[in-house]
Amino acid sequence: MNSISELHNQAVQLINNKAFVDAHPLLVDIIKQDPKHADAYFLLGIINMEVGQPEKAVQLIGKARQLDTNSEREYLVYLIKAYSLTRNREQVAMLEKLFSQLQGQPSLLLDTVGVALSKVGLHEQAMPYYQQAIEQDASKESYHYNHGIAAKFLGQFDKARQAFEQAIHLNPRYVKAYFAMTELSDSVAPLLPKMQRLITQTHNPDEQLHLAHAIAKEYEKQGDYQQAFNILHQYKQRILNKIKYDHQAEDDLFDALYSSALSPVLQQGDTSNQPIFVVGMPRSGTTLMERILSSHSMVCSGEELHDFSITVKAHTKAASSRLLDKAVLDAAYSADFTKMGRQYLARTASLTAAHPHFVDKLPFNFLYLDLIRRALPSAKIICMLRDPLDTCIGNFRQLFSLQNPFTAYALDLERTAQYYQRFYRWVHQFDDLQHPNFKLVSYENLVTHPESHIREILDFCELPWQPACLQVENNSAPVSTASKVQVREPINTKSIGRWRRYQPHTDSLEAFFTEQGIAYGL
């Protein structure tokens, strides 16, 4: 039998090489020999974070902290990281206060805490950590990039641009910084040849996707929309052919939504009216609606919270590894909806410390409409609807993470149209249930006649009229979505009809929506 020291060294080496499956049994063997071996629990926690099981990571790293207080600094930092991956803002904020009291933190840990804070929307608190990390070690391009991302979310665009430029200077192959630059600059034409070379040299799908979107954005700025579309189509198709996109699971989920919503409501749920959910397809105006509402003195922004979906999964016994699929949804209908609602409110309690209401603006919460209705029947739900062609082109042009289980459809324009049709059918069917706290809002109507529609929306939310809701450009709250630049402008109609720039690539979509009876080109 290998000694604990030998097993530990082997496990560390395997983890460093990302051989997590091979490292796992070695660490289990260590714990069998020594049930109080703190670092074995810690390393198992690291493995669980890497394979997408942050809840287990929280438990394991918490156990390591209990067993070994001498390693408090490192264990604490990765516990903060694990909680950030579960989107638990309250725990991240509490543990960050403990970390801030420690002296002499190394740059890697400072940056890790900064990223964790940014992950849960605490961008202002993250900034000093990035700055300290860079002061200690200015040679790490990732520190500059992370600093730039937080600055961008806070609207500090010049500072963000400088950070991305420095990241590229330190590592010309740091592709994420190129994409970030294209979002902030009127043109990055000098960088275009570099990006075109890099995209042919990398075989990493994530890097290809970042570069394809960066190149497409530059083509768009030059007015060459055909080239922009072609580069996206070329690389998205390559990636789509490599990944396992489960069309059937997606279709099965929507079918389950339609049938489940018709079941009788047998429980009342928690009657709190604190949350205001803003849902809809991505690129449909959800961020604008969130900015309008959070400009009100009685409302704060929670940004894109994952707390409801995590709460639902926690209340199911489904063996599925997915956050939401038919099995999880079926299991959710057997849960205690009052407990579900209360757990969600407990997870978001910090948001209501200074405001009676908060906005939960996660677009894909539209998949949870009926569960929200049952768990939080008094919560307001606003669903944004935008012209289907603008929405589909917007989704196709949007860089989504390949790890996001809900957005694989956006790799293909025609599949995006099919997904929109599913969404459209679902939200209208839900509207037919006449839930008094659900409202469909047209993006086009909102931006064309903002004051009258904002008055109507505030009335729906039982909020008094405040003129500040018209001046979203004055809202200084951070924005960590794809609309982070646009929503700092006054409400305008500039985005209406942008899909026409991509004709004739939209011909098949126009035919599809005509056949489905869904109006477009409004």
Q: Is the pLDDT of residue 191 over 80?
A: yes
Q: How far apart are CA 384 and CA 423, in angstroms?
A: 11
> One-letter amino acid identity for 19?
A
Question: What's the confidence (pLDDT) of residue 488?
Answer: 66
Between 361-370, 416-425, 481-490, the lowest mean confidence (pLDDT) is in: 481-490
Domain contains 78: no
Model confidence pTM above 0.85: yes
The 10s digit of each residue's pLDDT in 241-284 is 887 777 888 889 999 999 999 888 888 899 999 999 999 999 99
Span 199-256, pLDDT tens digits: 999 999 999 999 999 999 999 999 999 999 999 999 999 998 887 777 888 889 999 9
Across all residues in the chain, what is the average pLDDT? 93
pLDDT value of position 480: 56
Query: What is the per-residue pLDDT for 1?
Result: 59
Please check the confidence at residue 141 and state whether its pLDDT lies above 70: yes
Q: With bands split at pLDDT 50, 70 and 90, how would you rate the model's confidence at 487?
A: low
pLDDT of residue 160: 96
Are the C-beta atoms of 268 and 341 separated by less than 8 Å?
Answer: no
Helices and strands in the chain: count of H runs, count of E runs: 25, 5
pLDDT value at position 250?
A: 87
CA–CA distance, 213 with 229 (Å, rounded to integer) = 10
Helix (H, G, I), strand (E, B) or coil at 411: helix
**Looking at 231-297, which runs of residues are DSSP E strands?**
275-280
In a domain, 303, yes or no: yes
Is the pLDDT reported for residue 302 higher than 60?
yes
Give the span between the Cα atoms of 57 and 24, in whole angstroms. 13
Residue 147 belongs to a domain: no
111 assigned to some structural domain? no
Q: Is residue 299 part of a domain?
A: yes
Closest CA to 492 of 324, 346, 288: 288
Does residue 172 form part of some domain?
no
Contact 106, 74 (CB under 8 A): no
Of the candidate ranges 56-60, 138-142, 246-250, 430-434, the one whose mean pLDDT is the lowest:
246-250
In this predicted structure, what is the pLDDT of residue 481?
54
Task: Name the helix (H) or strand (E) containing 85.
Answer: helix 72-85
DSSP state of 299: E
User: Could you report the per-residue pLDDT of 93-117, keeping only the tens digit for each?
Assistant: 999 999 999 988 999 999 999 999 9
Confidence of residue 485 (pLDDT cuts 50, 70, 90): low
pLDDT in tens, 148-166: 999 999 989 999 999 999 9
CB 464 within 8 A of CB 293: no
Q: Which of 394, 390, 486, 397 is nearest to 214 (CA)?
A: 397
Tokens of 522: 């409004």
Which own/partner pairs from 511-519 qualify as long-range (CB within 8 Å, at least 24 positions apart)?
Answer: 512/414, 512/417, 512/418, 512/421, 513/388, 513/389, 513/417, 513/421, 516/421, 518/388, 518/420, 518/421, 518/424
CATH number at residue 333: 3.40.50.300
Residues 6+ apart with CB under 8 A from 511: none
Residue 34, pLDDT above cutoff 80: yes
Is residue 357 very low, low, confident or very high in pLDDT (cuts 50, 70, 90)?
Answer: very high
Q: Is residue 333 part of a domain?
A: yes
Q: Looking at residue 244, what is its pLDDT?
A: 74
Is 370's pLDDT higher than 70?
yes
Instruction: State the residue range of the domain holding 260.
Output: 247-516
CA 353-356-360 angle, to 5 degrees, is 90
The CA distances from residue 93 to 77, 81, 101, 148, 441, in Å, are 12, 11, 13, 21, 34
* Total domains in the fold of the chain: 1
The pLDDT value recorded for residue 123 is 94
In a domain, 434, yes or no: yes
**Among the ranges given (34-43, 301-310, 424-433, 474-483), the one the predictor scored with the smallest mean pLDDT:** 474-483
Q: What percent of the chain has pLDDT over 90?
A: 81
Give the pLDDT of residue 78.
96
